[in-house]
Every structure is written in structure tokens, then in C-alpha cells.
Structure 1
């Protein structure tokens, strides 16, 4: 319907231009006015034409069109008609027509490119929607699988988590749907404008096009598509859901925290380990450990005695108010005798703290994290099948950072209490075996 209206508008414009040329044609010479003059009866003629028509006439004269009689040979110049004649004459020139055709061609090309851009945006939006639906379906299956391991009284908790997932997925899909509809509408408007321009292009063949046609919306814009972080969406739900739920009703959860202990054979000589192997402290004095090929010699590091290469595992470390530390996982074959940067390229996936409040993920370069509070306990989640290493504030189970491309092969929990400030009393890090409190809510 809109297209028909646009076509009708173009046709009407063409008809108007043709009628205008007729109105500006002298009835005597049948050509466009030259020095048009107007008689008292409002009819116009070329000055030369009407002068020749009245030549030799003595006394009253008449209008060649309406035959109205005038007592004298009187006429006046109509400057508005003069200007209109010049404009029509100019619009009929070859140069003007070629310039107009070029403008039409350029405008059509601009619209075509913009249409292609929006079509690509639509395609990308659909791909994003398919991706979020696919990931959402996978997450739903995972969440349901987790909750099937719980007892009947935990079904309400399962429904709560699924509802949260559904709302977040729905919110993202709604944003993408709005952008998709806006892009489709933009393409539709561009197509309408293109039809108008194409009709105008045809009109140039008749030599009657005076100016570009009026477009309904000449500057169509679509906002930047919403950003979609699949990894962030994914990481939130590929998590130790049973443990998070257990913090609310932990007696029904199996299994719980991984019962880690420190491997004394890996401890740097400046690290002292408690008798139960759950507390590690860095001191200025060296401990006389027996030489061992697994021991870290250059960096103040230590590993857990338990390693993992399959399954899903979670553990917590109490860091208290220590101003600096490094935590995470390390490949079994990392170099323990030289100084290296803690990064996935070197076989480490870590979270670090410096100066008491500067948190960073162990990428190269470091990824600075903005945390609302300083966690007293850090949770580490390792999913060997998904190759994911995630870090949590164990006080409220909020996600701090997640590595999407985690390790392959056997890894060990990694810890570094770092070198302490000599002016401060050394503070320990401690492996947590059981929670000290249950989350409320």
C-alpha cells in the first residue's frame, strides 16, 4: 500500500511538471516563454510575440487567448514567471539531467549498501538468538541434572534457579528481538525510498524532473546491536550449583568441598606448612626441606597434593586480610625451578591480589577486576570436561572471573602466599574443608 502511494506520488509529480511546462509555454510561438510579460487579463506571452501580434494595429488591441479588448498596448513583466521559466529551461539541459541522474544513482547505491548492512545485522541477530537459545537449552539441561541429585525438598530451589535463567535468557532475547525488528523496519523503509528514487529515475527520461523527490525518511538509522557475552552468560550457570545450594541446605548435598591438603614436597623453602597440611605461611627464614624435583625453588609457590584431570571440582581458600596472593590451578608439568609469568600460556590459570585491593585475572596482560568488596574466602571451580576455571567470592558465591579455555590434562590446585612485607606479621592462607556458616535466603 505504501509502495503504491509512493508510485502515485511520483506519477503525480511527473504530471505536475508536465503541466507546469505547458503553463509556461507561449500560446503564440508554442515554446517556453522568452522575456514573459503579462496582460491585464493575466495571460502571459513572450514580449516579442505579443509585440509582433499587435504590430500595425491601431487603437484597441485584444488578448490572443481570451480576446479581451484593451484600449492601449500595455503589459508588464512578471518576474516570478521569468524565474520559473529559467528554472524549467535549466532543468531541461543535458548537464542538469546528467547531474540529476548521478545524484539518483549515488542515492540508490547508498540505500543499497545500507540495506545490505542491515540485512547483515539481521543475520547476525538471528545467529545470536540461535546461540543464546542453544546455550540456554544446554544450561537448562545442566541445571535440571544438578537438581535431580537432590532430595524432594530441594525442588523449590531448582525451580527458582530455572526461573532466573529463563528471565535472563528472555531479557537478552527481547533485546535482540527489538533490534531485529528495528533492522527489518529500516530495510522496509529503505526499500520504499528506493522505489521512489527508481520512479524518479524513470521520470528523468522525460526531461521533466526538476528536483529530487521527497523521501519519507531519508536518514534511516538503527542503533548498535546489543552486545552478547555468551561466555559471561555461560559461566554464571556452569558453576558449582550443588555447592551454592548446599550453602543454604548443605546437609543434603553430596559431594561437598574437595578435601584438599598442601603438598609439602612442592613448597618453596620460605613456605611453612601446618601439621594437618591445611595452612601455609610465608616466612623470611627458610625451612630445611629435603630436596625434591617437584619443589618450587624460585617463586614462593605451593601445590595441593590432590590433582584432577576429569570431573568437576570445587574448593575454597581462606585468605583473610592478606594484602597479596595468587590462587588457581597449574598444569602438572609447569617449570618449578625458574621464574615465569603466571598465565595460561605458561600453564597457570590464576586470580591475584596486590596492595590489598587490586584484583586481577592471570591473563597476559593482566585483566583488572573491579570488586565491590574484598573477599575473605575465594572459591575455585574446575570443570575438566568444559575446560573452565572460575573464581568466586565464597562469602556470597558471586562470580569474580572465569577462564573459558582452561587446561588440558592433569592439573593441581595452585597457591602463592607471596613475599610478605617485613614490617607486617605474616598472614596465612588456609584450605577450607567445611563451611563456617550457611547462606541466608
Structure 2
């Protein structure tokens, strides 16, 4: 009997779902050939969010399956056969009185027979038939399951909503990926075009310089050829052996040779020295305050300081490339261009259009100010160096970096820049400051320029030798 039961169980294994370990209920077949209850595979896929076979782990691009009716019929037949062989687990007779259980004690909540009803054990209890008890408790279970069914419905709705959200995010991700790829393709094309443009500019400029040098080379060759002919004529005259023949034309020959020497001295040809302007290689891709990418110039404008604008306490170097505070007032003419209230000095060149950049060395200084100012700015009285008054300036003072807008804008700068690069874009209305050593942006003013702008510098005061180092204009280096 045991062997038969074991054999029956082995036969049923082919009709059992590997997920719930029960006979198939509405079986479906996946593309890989494995079978599962429809509810089991649906729950499995909902849990993992991936269409995958629970047995062989093969993944599918879509939730695809086929209803296996034949297998479902076999499983149903096996279920009926299995139930017919199950022994009756619940006795229908009272163990104490061997009477059939027909009643239900509401107080004890248990089936009883008619003898139990009349016994002292159930004295005062109320009874109903088994059918009534079944109906009563089924109704109670239905009522109890109603909130659970409502919760189930609610959570299924939440599940569907979450699926939709996931689907939306996945779709948005795909769209954004395409957008990013498209934008960077444009950027790559822009950079490629800029590269080709700059290379072409370089080639054209180099070709023009070479043409001029080749013209000069042609003049040198012609001069060499002329000199060679004249030297040959002189040597030919010197080699004459007949004294009378030699001296017959010596006067005319001497005058001719003297004239040649005079012409050679008057028409000197020199080596033409021309160099590339650096404009074609004067660009660098740089983040503008971390928001956008732009191309900035890397060639420095050739600036000199204008001593006629310098405050009387400032010392401008002889080469007009640096300025420092002397601590003493000099006897200088009070011309209209000179600053007399604050320690400013302007550059000798101003700008009304275009893009320019320059660098200022501020190493070892503990305080300074630099930027640009309008030609008409107040140079004699009290001024607040803000854009409203024609000043766009960056400051270091009291160990703080700040920009002067309508009020001070304190800046969080990493480290202490040793050189500041100022980049003026006149038409765009921008004055930008960078750490020149790494080209990290510091601050950008945005305004509208309507008159000539001059680079401006303020080394600030030195006290007891502190902050005595000069501010220096840096020169372009290759």
C-alpha cells in the first residue's frame, strides 16, 4: 500500500506547479517549456518586475505564455481522484455518545449530538443546527474578509500606479538619454567646426607671413646675384696683366665701383622677422560658473599702467607693469585723469568693443582690488566701487574675497589665487574673474556697457610693511 501511494505521488509530480507545490490551477506554458499556475507566474513576475522563468531563469522581453488546457484537464482529474482516496479526517459522530453530530453549541462553539444537548455540561446553552452554524460563520468570515478585500483592491491599485510611475521614469530616461546624446553630438560638431576654423585661420596667417618672407627672400637672392656679378667684374679687372690696358679705364671703373658700394649701402636688405599672432590658438573650452560651456581667450592683452591716473601714494614701475602703495604722498600734478581720493590706477588702454583678457599677479599680497571702470567714473570724490557708479571689481580684504554689486557678495574660493585672470566681453556685457593657474571661475558681473572701459587696479594700503608687495601685469608666454 505504501509503495502504491509513493508511486501515485511520483506520478502527480508532473502535474504539480514548482512554485506553489500544488496540482496545477489554470496552467500556462512559457517559451522555455516550463509550466506554472497562472496566478503563481503572475505573482512571481510582479515581485521581480522581470519576465523570467523561475526554474531555468531564462529572461523574456515580454510577459508571454500559452494556456495549457490539456495539462489543466489532467491536473483536475488527478485532483478528483486524489480527493476520492482521502480518508475522512473529521468524524460525523460524537465520540462520547456515538450519536450523529447534528447540533452546534453557540457557547462552546462546537458540534454536539442530541444527548450532549440534554446533558448538564450544556445546561443553559443555546443551540442551532449545523447548517445554520455553517451559514452564520460563513457570513461572519465574509464580513471579516471584506476589509481585507478592500485593502487588496487598494494595494493592487497602488501596484498598478507604481508600475505606471516606473514606466514613466523608464520612458523619460530613454528620452533624456536621446536628448543628451543629441546635445553632445551638437557640441562635438561645434568643437570640430571650431577646430577646423582655427586651424584654417592659422594656416592662412602662416601662409601670408611666409609669402612676405619669400618676397624678401627673392630680394635677397637678387641682391646676391647683383653683388656676385659686380665682384666678378672687379676680379676680372684685377686679373688684367697689361698695365696700359688696366689703367686706360681705371678712372671710369673706380667711379663705377664706388657707385656700386654706395648703392649697396643705401639699399640694405635685412631678414624680415614676423611671428604668428597666436589668435588661432587663443581659445580654451571652459565652464561658465558650472552652468554652460563657452570658449574663452587664452592670449593676454598687452596692457600698461597709466601713471597719469595713479593716486599720489602709488608707485608705478618704470616699465608700467606693476604698482605698489608707497605710504607717502608724492608731489604730482592734479590732472583730471588722476585718482586723488582712493588708491586706484588705470591701464593706458580702454575698450569699447570686443573681447579681452589680462592677468594680474597678486602673490604675497593680503589685500587688493581689480577689475574695470568706466572712463567717466568719479576720480576725485567719495565713491562706492559698484556697477551703478561705473565699477566692476573683485576684492580681497580682511581675509575675505568679495565682489561689489549693489552690496558686497562674499565669495567662497578654494585656496588663495596667486594670479587673477580678468575676461571682458564688451558686447555680451560680462566681466569674469578666474583663478589664472587653473582657470576655475571666481565671479562674473553681467551688465550693459555704454562707454569705454579701462582695466583698473588698487593694491590697497600697506601698514608696517604688510601688503607692501606690488600688483603685477603678467605677460603672455608660449
Q: What's the TM-score, normalizing by structure 2?
A: 0.47
Quick one: structure 1 residues 414 and 158, their matched pair in 2 at CA, closer, same or farther if it must change by over 3 Å?
Answer: closer
2:195 and 2:428 mapped to 1: Cα distance? 15
What is the aligned counterpart of 1:318 among 342, 361, 365? 361
Structure 2 residue 285 is the aligned partner of structure 1 residue 240: no
Deviation larger for 412-421 or 361-370: 361-370
Q: Is the 8 A contact 2:435 2:441 kept in 1?
A: yes
Quickly say closer, same or farther: Cα 1:339–1:398, change in 2 above 3 A.
same
Q: Distance in 2 between matches of 1:411 and 1:138?
A: 31
- Aligned residue in 2 for 1:401: 442
Partner of 1:430: 472
Ranges in structure 2 where 5+ consecutive residues have no aligned partner: 1-29, 44-66, 102-136, 208-274
Q: Which residue pairs with 1:285 in the alignment?
A: 328
Q: Deviations over 1:138-175 (max 9, x none)?
A: 34434443343335799xx999999x97xx9xxxxxxx
Post-superposition shift, 1:417?
0.7
Please, which of 345, 370, 382 is the counterpart of residue 302 of structure 1?
345
1:330 aligned to which of 373, 393, 402: 373
Q: Is the 8 A contact 2:325 2:468 kept in 1?
A: yes
Structure 1 residues not aligned, in runs of 5+: 28-37, 57-84, 169-228, 244-256
How far does the alpha carbon of each residue in 1:239-286 deviate from its partner, in whole angstroms, 9 at most, with x for none? Answer: 224x3xxxxxxxxxxxxx423232345433433334554332223333
Q: 1:13 to 1:386 in 2, by over 3 A?
A: closer
Q: Given that residues 390 and 399 in structure 1 are in contact (C-alpha distance below 8 angstroms), is that contact kept between their aligned partners in structure 2?
A: no
Tell me whether 1:384 sits opposite 2:423 in the alignment. Answer: no
Q: Any conservation in 2 of the 1:147–1:158 contact (CA below 8 Å)?
A: no
Equivalent-residue separation in structure 2 for 1:139 and 1:288 (angstroms): 55
Q: Please give the secondary structure, in 2, of the residue aligned with 1:93.
A: helix
- Mark the CA change 1:48 to 1:160 in structure 2 (over 3 Å): closer, same or farther: farther
CA distance in 2, matches of 1:119, 1:110: 14
**Is the CA contact 2:383–2:389 (under 8 Å) kept in the aligned structure 1?**
no
Q: Give the superposition deviation at 1:311.
A: 1.9
The residue number in structure 2 matching 1:181 is: none
**Does the aligned pair in 1 maintain the 2:304–2:349 contact within 8 Å?**
yes
Query: Measured at CA, do residues 304 and 128 of structure 1 come closer, stay the same or move farther in structure 2, by a change above 3 Å?
Result: farther
Alignment CA distance shift 1:113-1:54 (3 Å): same
Asked if residue 365 in structure 1 is aligned to residue 406 in structure 2, the reply is no
Q: How many residues align?
A: 299
Matches within 5 A, 1:36-51: 41-44=86-89
Corresponding position of 1:103: 155
Cα distance in 1 for partners of 2:355, 2:426 equals: 6
SS of match in other structure, 1:239: strand
Corresponding position: 1:412 with 2:454: yes
Q: Determine the C-alpha separation between the residues in 2 that align with 1:258 and 1:428.
A: 20
Give the distance between the partners of 1:54 and 1:161, measured in 2 at CA: 110
Separation in 1 of the partners of 2:467 and 2:279? Answer: 45
For residues 104-127 of structure 1, the C-alpha deviation after alignment (integer angstroms, 9 at most, x for no partner) is 223333444455456556555555
Separation in 2 of the partners of 1:129 and 1:261?
46
Shift of 1:350: 3.8
Q: Is the Cα contact below 8 Å between 1:326 and 1:350 reproduced in 2? A: yes
The equivalent residue for 1:55 is: 100
Deviation, 1:294, is: 5.0
Q: Cα–Cα, structure 1 residues 131 and 292, in superposed 2: closer, same or farther, change >3 Å?
A: farther
In the alignment, the residues of structure 2 paired with residue 96 and residue 422 of structure 1 have an alpha-carbon distance, to the nearest angstrom, of 85
User: In 2, Cα distance between the equivalents of 1:159 and 1:49?
Assistant: 108
8 A Cα contact 2:198 2:281, kept in partner: no
- Secondary structure in 1 aligned to 2:358? strand
Could you tell me whether the CA contact under 8 Å between 1:297 and 1:338 is conserved in 2?
no
Contact 2:364–2:467 (CA<8 Å) still a contact in 1?
A: no
Please name the residue that 1:149 is paired with. Answer: 201
Q: Does 1:340 align with 2:340?
A: no
Aligned position for 1:258 = 301
Q: For the residues of structure 2 that align with 1:147 and 1:295, how far apart are their CA atoms?
A: 44
Kindly report which structure 2 residues correspond to 1:63-74, keeping only aligned pairs within 5 A, or say none: none
**1:274–1:90 Cα change, 3 Å:** same
In the alignment, the residues of structure 1 paired with residue 93 and residue 393 of structure 2 have an alpha-carbon distance, to the nearest angstrom, of 96
TM-score (norm 1): 0.50
